[in-house]
Amino acid sequence: MKQGIIIREAHFPGRAPIEAYGNGGFRFADMSHKGSILCLPSGIYGWEPQDRDRLSVADFSRVCAEAGDIEIFLVGTGPDLKPIPKELRAALKEAGIAADPMSSGAALRTYNVLLSDERAVGAALIAVD
Fill in the DSSP letter of residue 85: P
CATH number (domain holding residue 106): 3.40.1230.10
**Ordered alpha helix ranges (H), 23-99:** 61-65, 86-94
What pLDDT shows up at residue 1? 57
The set of residues, in sequence order, having a beta carbon less than 8 Å from that of 43 and lying 6+ positions away, is: 11, 12, 13, 14, 15
Q: Do the Cβ atoms of 43 and 11 come closer than 8 Å?
A: yes
> Is residue 53 in a domain?
yes
More confident residue, 5 or 100: 100
Q: Do the Cβ atoms of 4 and 10 come closer than 8 Å?
A: no
Domain coverage including residue 90: 20-125
Q: What would the pLDDT profile of 46-94 be if each residue is shown by its tens digit?
A: 999 999 889 999 999 999 999 999 999 999 999 999 999 999 999 999 9
Nearest Cα neighbor of 41 from 100, 117, 129, 123 is 123
Number of domains forming the structure of the chain? 1
> Is residue 5 in a domain?
no
